[in-house]
Amino acid sequence: MSKPPRPAKPGKATKAEGRRLNIGAVRSSFAPWNDPNATPLVRFEGVTKRFGDQVAVNDISLDIYPGEFFALLGPSGCGKTTLMRMLAGFETLDAGRITLAGEDISDAPPHKRPVNMMFQSYALFPHLNVEQNIAFGLKQEGLPKAEIKARVAEMLELVKLQDFARRKPDQLSGGQKQRVALARAVARKPRMLLLDEPLGALDKKLREETQFELMDLQVELGVTFLIVTHDQEEAMVMADRIAVMREGRIVQIGRPEEVYETPSSRYVAEFLGDVNLFETTVEAIEHPMAHLDSSASTAGFYVLDDDCPGPGATVWLAVRPEKMRISLDPPEPGAKNVLAGEIWDIGYTGDWTNYIVELPGEKLVRVARANSQRFVERPIGWDDKVWVSFDPDAGVVLTS
């Protein structure tokens, strides 16, 4: 399947890019959230939802901008689905309000909202065929027959299901059902498309393919997408911005690379990918370095002093496994951030090998190494003595 080149998103002037924004491997000029003059499409203002005495959504305020692909990411029960269902109109608000294009829609019934949702279970109408399913929303608008027919044909082509128009949902594969659900949801040209775990029921290969197709589709249609997912990889691949949720609150919002590389808390760091956390005490600030004292290393750690509190404070140092190096040879004398240990476990996944290294004091550290060469002169084996090291800019200092 050949993909058309992805057109650039409507660019807005970005802030002067300092080192903070220059992280990760992705460069994008689409960042309306940094533009004080941009108007959001959807605004959640102090939105709260309770179920009994449990607060599912706790005072959330959030702006989503036109053309954005926005992801709500969190474990099950964090309130992400409830937040989306409130936007679709399936849950009432206990406090706060939701506006769409400046209009308060907090009390509008679902059938009067210009948003459409793709359900996790797809919710295809079993008694209607593919064509009728896609036409359902158009029929409700009372469009002329010819126009409905044309739009359905257009949608079938968009999701490449022209040959399946007369099939009933139970005669389709999972991937085909997913496409019908998608076509049905976008057929009405909604202001916003809500996707509830859209790829959850697909197998891994199909999921990866569909991720890119969804991104292309979003650009092609120019519709704002809001996706709910518990799969961090899915969110990172597709979204322009990710909101990480926990217990009814948003704990961090940012571009995928921001959230991954500069997590705001241990929770975010651990939820997105793997991370090694060291509990440390700030020993001294020696600008641009901070010297951290830790039980894991007698020499302590040296990291960049961004956002690092003053001496004496307890902080956590977070280092991603892929940003650590592992070696059978001792480092040169005077090297910083070196940990000696023994191989505890090795996980080989083909493209990567994950080494679990046991440090003195039974602390385990995870190091990931890309297998960029087919043959290694001295492969690392179980119980080998190894040295793990990382650069001062590889770690992030977290205070919570």
Partner 1 sequence: MGSRFRGNGRVVNRAALIPAIWLAVLFAFPFLLVFRLSLSDTALAIPPYTPQLDWAAGIEGLKAFFGALDFEMYRRLGEDPFYLNAYLSSLKFAATGTLLALLVGYPMAYGMARCKPNVRSLLLMLVILPFWTSFLIRVYAWVGILKPQGLFNSFLGLLGLEPMTLLYTPAAVQIGLVYSYLPFMVLPLYAALERLDDTLLEAAADLGSPPWRSFWQITWPLSIPGVIAGCLLCFIPMVGEFVIPDLLGGPGSLMIGRSIWMEFFANRDWPFASAVAIVLLFTLVLPIVLYQRQQAKALEAGR
- Least Å distance between CB 284 and partner 1? 58
Of 186 and 318, the one with the shorter C-beta distance to partner 1 is 186
- Least Å distance between CB 8 and partner 1? 31
Q: Is the dihedral of CA 163, 165, 170, 172 positive or negative?
A: positive
Here the tokens at position 213 are 């197709």
Q: How far apart are CA 394 and CA 282, in angstroms?
A: 17
Here the tokens at position 133 are 């399913």
Of 181 and 315, the one with the shorter C-beta distance to partner 1 is 181
Of 119 and 267, the one with the shorter C-beta distance to partner 1 is 119
- Please choose, from the candidates 28, 11, 23, the residue with its C-alpha nearest in 3D space to the C-alpha of residue 238: 28
- Least Å distance between CB 126 and partner 1? 7
Of 142 and 312, the one with the shorter C-beta distance to partner 1 is 142
Residue 28's contacts (CB-CB under 8 Å, 6 or more residues apart) are 9, 240, 255
Please list every residue from 138 through 197 that binds partner 1, using CB under 8 A: 140-141, 170, 184-185, 188
8-state DSSP, 67: T
Segment near partner 1 (CB under 8 A); pick from 105-113, 147-155, 200-208, 316-324: 105-113
Segment near partner 1 (CB under 8 A); pick from 51-59, 63-71, 116-124, 345-353: 116-124
Of 17 and 141, the one with the shorter C-beta distance to partner 1 is 141
Of 118 and 343, the one with the shorter C-beta distance to partner 1 is 118
Segment near partner 1 (CB under 8 A); pick from 103-111, 247-255, 265-273, 279-287: 103-111
How far from 325 is each of 160, 178, 290, 298, 354, CA to CA, in Å?
Answer: 46, 42, 21, 19, 11
Q: Could you give the string, one character per residue 57-96, with x where binding to partner 1 holds by CB under 8 A and - elsewhere?
A: -------------------------------xxx------
Residue 69 near residue 215, CB atoms below 8 Å: yes
- Least Å distance between CB 141 and partner 1? 6
φ, ψ for residue 31 (rounded to 5)?
-155, 65
Residue 126 near residue 152, CB atoms below 8 Å: no
Of 84 and 319, the one with the shorter C-beta distance to partner 1 is 84
Segment near partner 1 (CB under 8 A); pick from 137-145, 211-219, 222-230, 260-268: 137-145
| Beta strands, E only, the chain | 42-51, 54-64, 69-73, 95-100, 103-104, 115-118, 192-196, 224-229, 241-246, 249-254, 276-286, 289-294, 297-304, 314-319, 325-327, 338-348, 352-358, 364-370, 385-389, 395-398
Q: How far apart are CA 102 and CA 105, in angstroms?
A: 9
Segment near partner 1 (CB under 8 A); pick from 5-13, 136-144, 231-239, 252-260: 136-144
Interaction of residue 119 with partner 1, rule CB under 8 A: yes
Segment near partner 1 (CB under 8 A); pick from 112-120, 206-214, 225-233, 304-312: 112-120
Which residue do the tokens 């449990």 mark?
Answer: 54
Of 86 and 250, the one with the shorter C-beta distance to partner 1 is 86
Q: What number of chain residues touch partner 1 (CB under 8 A)?
A: 25
Residue from 29, 121, 173, 314 in contact with partner 1 (CB under 8 A): 121
Residue from 51, 125, 348, 352 in contact with partner 1 (CB under 8 A): 125
Here the tokens at position 359 are 């440090």
Segment near partner 1 (CB under 8 A); pick from 8-16, 119-127, 159-167, 355-363: 119-127
Q: How far apart are CA 340 and CA 36, in angstroms?
A: 49
φ, ψ for residue 4 (rounded to 5)?
-70, 150
Interaction of residue 136 with partner 1, rule CB under 8 A: yes
Interaction of residue 348 with partner 1, rule CB under 8 A: no
Q: Is the dihedral of CA 263, 316, 77, 179 positive or negative?
A: positive
- Please choose, from the candidates 89, 85, 87, 74, the residue with its C-alpha nearest in 3D space to the C-alpha of residue 43: 87
Of 182 and 343, the one with the shorter C-beta distance to partner 1 is 182
- Least Å distance between CB 148 and partner 1? 13
Contact residues: partner 1, CB under 8 A? 88-90, 109-112, 115-117, 119, 121, 123-127, 136-137, 140-141, 170, 184-185, 188
